[in-house]
Amino acid sequence: MIAELQCVVLDCPEPRVLADFYRSLLGGDVDRPDRRWSLDADWSTLHTPTGPVLAFQRATDHVPPNWPDPSRPQQFHLDLGVPDLDRAQEEVLAAGGTLLDGSDGRGWRVYADPAGHPFCLVRH
């Protein structure tokens, strides 16, 4: 092993807003003190209850992906497991997410977070 994953970082215009959005989906602690990094207006974190840490870094000229347009690709995305897609969708939309592709019958749907990053809800 060469390294250990410390966190996944998403560029965005408003780090704390995006951290709060993902907390509403995943639970956890926003901006919990951690010796690995400092927190400020340009950097926010979410320590999730299951262990992974998401970090949000201010990018003043952030241009969101335009899924599925390959000229502005998503670059990466998160798959979030849920037991009930319809119920989870209601909560994601109420939290500020946007439905990008709600095709039925696949077991997953594509959304964008408030900064435009695509993510999927996947039935588990």
Q: What is the pLDDT of residues 61-79, one digit of tens each?
A: 999 998 888 888 877 788 8
67 found inside a domain: no
SS3 content of the chain, % helix, strand, coil (to 5): 20, 35, 50
Same domain for 54 and 12: yes
Query: The domain containing residue 115 runs over which residues?
Result: 78-123
CATH number at residue 12: 3.30.720
Its sign, for the CA torsion 30, 24, 94, 117, is positive
- Domains: count for the chain: 2
Secondary structure of residue 86 in the 3-state scheme: helix
CATH number at residue 85: 3.10.180.10
25 found inside a domain: yes
Backbone angles phi, psi at 66, to 5 degrees: -125, 75
Q: Is residue 123 scored above 90 in pLDDT? A: no
User: What is the average per-residue pLDDT within 9-27?
Assistant: 96
DSSP string, 41-82: TTEEEEE-TTS-EEEEEE-TT-----TT-TTS-----EEEEE
